[in-house]
Amino acid sequence: MRRRRTPVERVLARPGPPFEITFDGRPLTALPGQSIAAALWSSGVLAWRTTRVGGRPRGAFCGIGHCFDCLATVNGRPNQRACLLPAAPGDVVTTQSGDGRADLAD
Protein backbone atom coordinates (compact mmCIF):
# COMPACT_ATOMS: atom_id res chain seq x y z
CA MET A 1 0.00 0.00 0.00
CA ARG A 2 1.31 3.44 -0.95
CA ARG A 3 1.72 6.09 1.73
CA ARG A 4 -0.30 9.26 1.09
CA ARG A 5 1.69 12.46 1.07
CA THR A 6 0.55 15.47 3.05
CA PRO A 7 0.04 18.86 1.35
CA VAL A 8 3.22 20.14 3.05
CA GLU A 9 5.21 17.27 1.55
CA ARG A 10 3.70 17.92 -1.86
CA VAL A 11 4.92 21.50 -2.06
CA LEU A 12 8.01 20.99 0.09
CA ALA A 13 6.94 23.86 2.33
CA ARG A 14 9.09 24.26 5.39
CA PRO A 15 8.18 27.24 7.55
CA GLY A 16 11.04 29.13 9.13
CA PRO A 17 11.45 29.37 12.87
CA PRO A 18 8.62 30.95 14.88
CA PHE A 19 9.01 34.47 16.19
CA GLU A 20 7.26 36.68 18.72
CA ILE A 21 4.74 39.47 18.26
CA THR A 22 2.68 41.11 20.99
CA PHE A 23 -1.03 41.71 21.23
CA ASP A 24 -2.18 44.18 23.88
CA GLY A 25 1.09 43.53 25.73
CA ARG A 26 0.77 39.75 25.61
CA PRO A 27 3.50 37.82 23.74
CA LEU A 28 2.24 35.57 20.94
CA THR A 29 3.99 33.23 18.54
CA ALA A 30 3.80 33.73 14.78
CA LEU A 31 5.27 31.87 11.84
CA PRO A 32 6.92 33.30 8.74
CA GLY A 33 4.30 33.92 6.08
CA GLN A 34 1.38 34.21 8.50
CA SER A 35 -0.80 37.27 8.38
CA ILE A 36 -1.35 39.22 11.59
CA ALA A 37 -4.92 37.83 11.64
CA ALA A 38 -3.70 34.23 11.25
CA ALA A 39 -1.18 34.70 14.06
CA LEU A 40 -3.89 36.13 16.32
CA TRP A 41 -6.32 33.35 15.43
CA SER A 42 -3.72 30.64 16.07
CA SER A 43 -3.25 32.10 19.56
CA GLY A 44 -6.98 32.07 20.26
CA VAL A 45 -7.56 35.81 19.73
CA LEU A 46 -10.78 36.21 17.74
CA ALA A 47 -11.45 39.96 18.10
CA TRP A 48 -9.04 42.91 17.95
CA ARG A 49 -11.28 45.85 17.12
CA THR A 50 -14.46 47.38 18.52
CA THR A 51 -17.02 49.26 16.47
CA ARG A 52 -17.53 53.03 16.69
CA VAL A 53 -21.16 52.64 17.66
CA GLY A 54 -21.87 50.15 20.42
CA GLY A 55 -18.30 48.94 20.94
CA ARG A 56 -19.02 45.52 19.43
CA PRO A 57 -16.04 43.17 18.97
CA ARG A 58 -14.71 42.50 15.48
CA GLY A 59 -11.97 40.32 14.02
CA ALA A 60 -11.43 38.71 10.63
CA PHE A 61 -14.57 38.14 8.58
CA CYS A 62 -13.80 37.81 4.88
CA GLY A 63 -10.06 37.20 5.23
CA ILE A 64 -9.26 38.82 1.87
CA GLY A 65 -9.30 42.54 2.66
CA HIS A 66 -12.77 43.49 1.42
CA CYS A 67 -14.80 43.92 4.59
CA PHE A 68 -12.44 45.93 6.86
CA ASP A 69 -13.65 44.08 9.99
CA CYS A 70 -10.07 43.03 10.72
CA LEU A 71 -8.67 46.53 11.23
CA ALA A 72 -6.06 46.71 13.98
CA THR A 73 -3.43 49.11 15.23
CA VAL A 74 -0.05 47.67 14.26
CA ASN A 75 3.18 49.30 15.40
CA GLY A 76 1.24 52.45 16.29
CA ARG A 77 -0.47 52.73 12.88
CA PRO A 78 -4.27 52.45 13.08
CA ASN A 79 -6.56 50.93 10.44
CA GLN A 80 -4.21 48.18 9.29
CA ARG A 81 -5.97 45.21 7.65
CA ALA A 82 -4.71 42.33 9.77
CA CYS A 83 -5.82 39.72 7.23
CA LEU A 84 -3.49 41.20 4.58
CA LEU A 85 -0.54 42.36 6.66
CA PRO A 86 2.23 39.77 7.09
CA ALA A 87 3.38 39.32 10.68
CA ALA A 88 6.97 40.39 11.32
CA PRO A 89 9.20 39.75 14.32
CA GLY A 90 8.55 42.29 17.06
CA ASP A 91 5.24 43.59 15.67
CA VAL A 92 3.13 45.31 18.32
CA VAL A 93 -0.59 44.82 17.73
CA THR A 94 -3.16 46.58 19.88
CA THR A 95 -6.93 46.48 19.99
CA GLN A 96 -8.38 49.28 17.91
CA SER A 97 -11.37 51.16 19.27
CA GLY A 98 -13.79 52.87 16.91
CA ASP A 99 -12.05 54.43 13.95
CA GLY A 100 -8.58 54.05 15.47
CA ARG A 101 -8.01 57.79 15.70
CA ALA A 102 -8.63 58.56 19.36
CA ASP A 103 -5.62 60.90 19.21
CA LEU A 104 -7.66 63.24 16.95
CA ALA A 105 -10.57 63.52 19.38
CA ASP A 106 -9.02 66.53 21.20
- 88 occurs within a structural domain: yes
Q: What is the pLDDT of residues 3-12, one digit of tens each?
A: 777 776 767 7
Does this model's pTM top 0.85? no
- 81 occurs within a structural domain: yes
Residue-number span of the structural domain to which 37 is assigned: 18-98
Q: What is the pLDDT of residues 23-62, one digit of tens each?
A: 999 999 999 999 999 999 999 999 999 888 888 888 888 8
Tally the domains of the chain: 1
Give the SS3 label for residue 85.
Answer: coil
- 2 occurs within a structural domain: no
- 9 occurs within a structural domain: no
d(CA 6, CA 18): 21
- 94 occurs within a structural domain: yes
- What was the pLDDT predicted at 103? 56
- What was the pLDDT predicted at 42? 94
- 71 occurs within a structural domain: yes
Q: What is the pLDDT of residues 51-94, one digit of tens each?
A: 888 888 888 888 888 888 899 999 999 999 999 999 999 999 99
CATH number at residue 53: 3.10.20.440
